[in-house]
C-alpha cells in the first residue's frame, strides 16, 4: 500500500499544514523508506543552515531521521526525540494492516527540557560557536506535553478506519 492510496495530495497537504501549525515546526510526509514526498512550513534559521550544509545534513538530520524511522518501524507509535543538534523532532507513523506505510514528521524547535550546546553544530558546520548561538537565538520552544498531544491527535486521525 502507498500513501497515495490513502489520501489525495490535497488531503495530505491539509494534514501537513495543520500539523505544522499545531507543532510550530516544518512538517513533512515521507514514505516508509523515509523519502520526503511533501513538506509544509518554513524552517528556523539554525535548521536552514544545517540543511544547506551537506555534511551537517548527513550527520545531523539524516542520522536522526534514520534512527527514528528504524524505531518507528518496530513501535508503530508516535515518538518525540532530539536530533544531533539538540532540536526537537516529532514523528507520527501512518500504519495500515500493521505495517508502516509512511510517516508525518515535524522538526526544528528548541527543546524546553534540554540546554542547547552549539559545539557539535559548530564543528559540523565548520564555523565558530558564536554564529551558531546567533542562529539558535530565535528558535522557539514548545512544551513537550503540547507536542505529545499533537502527535497523539494526528495518530488517532490517521488510524485505520
pLDDT tens for the chain, residues 1 to 161: 999 999 999 999 999 999 999 999 999 999 999 999 999 999 999 999 999 998 888 888 889 999 999 999 999 999 999 998 999 999 999 999 999 999 999 999 999 888 898 999 999 999 999 999 999 999 999 999 999 999 999 999 999 76
Architecture (CATH level 2) of domain 3-158? 2-Layer Sandwich (3.30)
Q: Roughly what angle, to the nearest 10 degrees, separates helices 129-137 and 118-125? A: 120
Number of Cβ within 10 Å of residue 52's Cβ equals 11
Locate all alpha helices (DSSP H) within 8-140, ordered by sequence. Answer: 9-23, 45-51, 54-56, 63-75, 118-125, 129-137
> So where are the chain's domains?
3-158
Edge-to-edge strands, sheet with 79-82: 36-40, 26-31, 99-110, 87-96, 79-82
Amino acid at each position: 500500500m502507498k500513501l497515495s492510496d490513502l489520501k489525495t495530495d490535497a488531503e495530505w497537504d491539509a494534514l501537513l499544514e495543520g500539523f505544522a501549525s499545531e507543532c510550530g515546526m516544518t512538517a513533512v510526509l515521507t514514505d516508509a523508506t523515509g523519502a520526503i514526498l511533501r513538506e509544509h512550513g518554513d524552517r528556523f534559521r539554525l535548521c536552514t543552515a544545517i540543511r544547506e550544509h551537506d555534511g551537517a545534513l548527513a550527520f545531523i538530520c539524516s542520522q536522526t531521521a534514520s534512527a527514528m524511522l528504524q524505531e518507528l518501524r518496530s513501535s508503530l507509535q508516535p515518538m518525540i526525540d532530539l536530533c544531533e543538534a539538540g532540536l526537537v523532532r516529532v514523528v507520527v507513523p501512518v500504519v495500515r494492516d500493521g505495517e508502516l506505510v509512511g510517516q508525518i514528521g515535524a522538526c526544528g524547535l528548541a527543546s524546553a527540557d534540554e540546554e542547547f550546546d552549539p559545539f557539535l553544530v559548530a564543528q559540523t558546520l565548520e564555523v565558530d560557536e558564536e554564529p551558531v548561538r546567533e542562529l539558535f537565538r530565535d528558535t522557539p520552544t514548545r512544551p513537550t506535553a503540547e507536542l505529545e498531544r499533537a502527535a497523539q491527535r494526528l495518530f488517532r486521525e490517521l488510524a485505520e478506519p
